[in-house]
Structure 1
Amino acid sequence: MILTEEQIEYIATNLEFYGIASGELRADVLDHICTHIETGDLDDFDAAYDSAIRQFGGYQALSGIERDRYLMVSLKSSLWRQKLINIFGCVSACMICIGILFKFMHWPGATITFFLGCALFIVAFLPLFFYHGYKDYYKKAISK
């Protein structure tokens, strides 16, 4: 069965309506559905289209595809953000502890080490920590 431009446009509109907002993902799913319809042995467009949608798991699964794509893409940035939080937290905690130790021992550089540790904690660690918590909350809200 050869698809017409109107039928392809109908499929693309339905994909957007049923929750696939990303243009790149919509083009890929549209290509898969059109290929399934054109290589199938059904001559009726409606029956072939229903068969292709069932192959994807129905209309509910289409919105799940968009959600899963977002979660997979955001996983890499989430891991990178968590590594930065761990690095800044450890470095600032070590600098604060070393600054306190130097202060107790009356060694030079105590004040600047303590100050830089506190500054790193306030300027880098805390904003990243709260931003990461916000993004995790948003990701959990989307995944439900």
Structure 2
Amino acid sequence: MQIEEEHIRFIENSLKLYGINSQDLKEDLVDHICSYIESRESNNFNELYKEAIQKFGGYSSFQNLQLETNFQKFSKKAKVVNVLKFIVGLIMVILLVIGFLFKIMHWPYANAMLIVAILLFAFLLIPLLFYSKHKKIRYKFS
């Protein structure tokens, strides 16, 4: 069967209706569905479309693909946030240890190091922890 432009629009709209928001995923699914329909010899588009949807697992399978795509995007961002948390935490601990050492030895800049460590904790590490916790909860239940 030859796919027409109105068939492609129908497929795109139905995928959007069933929760496929990612443009890349939508294009891939439309391509697979169109390829399946074109490979069949029947001329009944509706019948072939329903058959293609069932062949690919139905709309619930498409929604699961969307969730997995979202989770993969989240996991890439989560890795960056975790590395950033580690680096900020490491710098903070190093500054605290060196600051306390300087304080014990009565060397200069001890207070500056302690203040910078506390500021890193308050304005970088705590917000990063809350951000990552919020994103984990959000993607866990979506």
**Distance across 1 between alignment mates of 2:37 and 2:130:** 48
Give 5+ residue unaligned stretches, structure 1.
none
**Distance across 2 between alignment mates of 1:134 and 1:4:** 44
**Distance across 2 between alignment mates of 1:77 and 1:8:** 33
| Identical positions, percent | 34
Question: Partner residue of 2:42?
Answer: 42
Question: Partner residue of 1:110?
Answer: 110
**Distance across 1 between alignment mates of 2:87 and 2:54:** 47
* CA RMSD of superposed structures (Å): 1.5
Question: Partner residue of 2:54?
Answer: 54
Question: Partner residue of 2:68?
Answer: 68
* Residue type of the alignment partner of 1:75: S
Report deviation, 1:47.
Answer: 2.4
Report deviation, 1:25.
Answer: 2.2
Question: Partner residue of 1:134?
Answer: 134
Segments of 4+ moved more than 4 angstroms: none
Q: Give the TM-score of the pair, scaled to structure 1.
A: 0.90
**Distance across 1 between alignment mates of 2:115 and 2:4:** 69
Report deviation, 1:4.
Answer: 2.4
Give 5+ residue unaligned stretches, structure 2.
none
Q: Give the TM-score of the pair, scaled to structure 2.
A: 0.91
**Distance across 1 between alignment mates of 2:7 and 2:27:** 14
